[in-house]
Amino acid sequence: MPRSGPRLGIFGGTFDPPHVGHLAAAVNARHDLGLDRVLLVVANVPWQKVGERPVSAAGARLELVRLAVGDVEGVEASDLEIRRGGESYTADTVAELLDEDPSRDLFVIVGSDAAEGLPTWERVEEVRARATVVVVDRPGGSWGPPPGWEVRRVEVPRLEISSTDLRQRVVDGRPLDYLVPAPVVSGIERLGLYREPR
Ligand code: ATP
Ligand code: MG
């Protein structure tokens, strides 16, 4: 449902760690859709990943996202889900952002791999009713929306980069340079993240 206020993108993730795939998706979605801002919303407890692997502390992931965005215009790290605490559901994030300013026009941005899980999201109908769902095409994903769904597609350069691979690189002692912004490389070292195989 389009609203007349600021156009705001919500790009949620675990960001463990953030990488240039995330950043390229965020800036291209912002450009293509004419968004004022895109928030990189750091999940407090990413319910989809619970039980799958240990996730780094939310504060550490937020710090890395802040380092990653640097001073790129219109892209910001958001601690909204961390401040809210508990499991992170996009439906709650959408509700909170509309409570703050009901005129906002919200765009929920997901990669095509994450989009496959959309039908299983908590209160997904609420998300669809209150925001435009945007799918960013990611290598390997050949995603089609479920029947009856209206989604916007954004084409981004396909960057075959994942946080999973980056964590393994740290374990193996392989370089992260150019796959994540330089301040993130230093941040990962300083925080001592990903050294132990998980
Ligand atoms: P992991 O390997 O731990 O799952 P990830 O790289 O997939 O990490 P997430 O934090 O899980 O990163 O993803 C957050 C969002 O970013 C998701 O919507 C995901 O689809 C999207 N995304 C992640 N990597 C890319 C990429 N290289 N290009 C486009 N979108 C991406
Ligand atoms: Mg992922």
| 52-96: pLDDT as tens digits | 889 999 999 999 999 999 999 999 999 999 999 999 999 999 999
- Any domain includes 127: yes
Six token digits for residue 32:
């293509």
Binding site membership of 113 for ligand 1 (Cβ less than 6 Å) = yes
pLDDT band at 21 (very low <50, low <70, confident <90, very high): very high
Answer whether residue 184 shows pLDDT above 60.
Answer: yes
pLDDT band at 47 (very low <50, low <70, confident <90, very high): confident
Taking a C-beta distance cutoff of 8 angstroms, is the pair 138, 112 a contact?
Answer: yes
Q: How far is the CA of 65 from the centre of ligand 1 (A)?
A: 13
- Any domain includes 2: no
- Any domain includes 63: yes
| 86-133: pLDDT as tens digits | 999 999 999 999 999 999 999 999 999 899 899 999 999 999 999 999
Mean of per-residue pLDDT scores for the chain: 94
- Any domain includes 176: yes
Q: Which of 56, 75, 153, 163 to mutate to test the pocket of ligand 1 (most atoms within 8 A of CB)?
A: 163
- Any domain includes 72: yes
Answer whether residue 1 shows pLDDT above 70.
Answer: no
Q: For residues 62 and 191, what is the distance between their CA atoms, to the nearest angstrom?
A: 12
Give phi and psi for 21, each to the nearest 5: -60, -45
Binding site membership of 25 for ligand 1 (Cβ less than 6 Å) = yes
Binding site membership of 56 for ligand 1 (Cβ less than 6 Å) = no
Model pTM above 0.85? yes
The whole-angstrom distance between residue 195's C-alpha and the CA centroid of its chain comes to 23
Binding site membership of 21 for ligand 1 (Cβ less than 6 Å) = yes
Binding site membership of 161 for ligand 1 (Cβ less than 6 Å) = yes
The whole-angstrom distance between residue 178's C-alpha and the CA centroid of its chain comes to 19
- Given this model, what pLDDT does residue 140 score? 66
- Any domain includes 87: yes
Q: For residues 145 and 151, what is the distance between their CA atoms, to the nearest angstrom?
A: 7
- Given this model, what pLDDT does residue 95 score? 98
Q: Please state the rounded mean pLDDT for residues 134-158.
A: 85
Give the ligand 1 atom nearest the CA of 161.
27
State the ligand closest to the CA atom of 118. Answer: 1
- Any domain includes 197: no
- Work out how many domains the chain is built from and give that number: 1
Binding site membership of 163 for ligand 1 (Cβ less than 6 Å) = yes
CATH number for the domain spanning 41: value is: 3.40.50.620
**Residue 60: which domain range?**
7-188
- pLDDT > 90: percent of the chain: 81
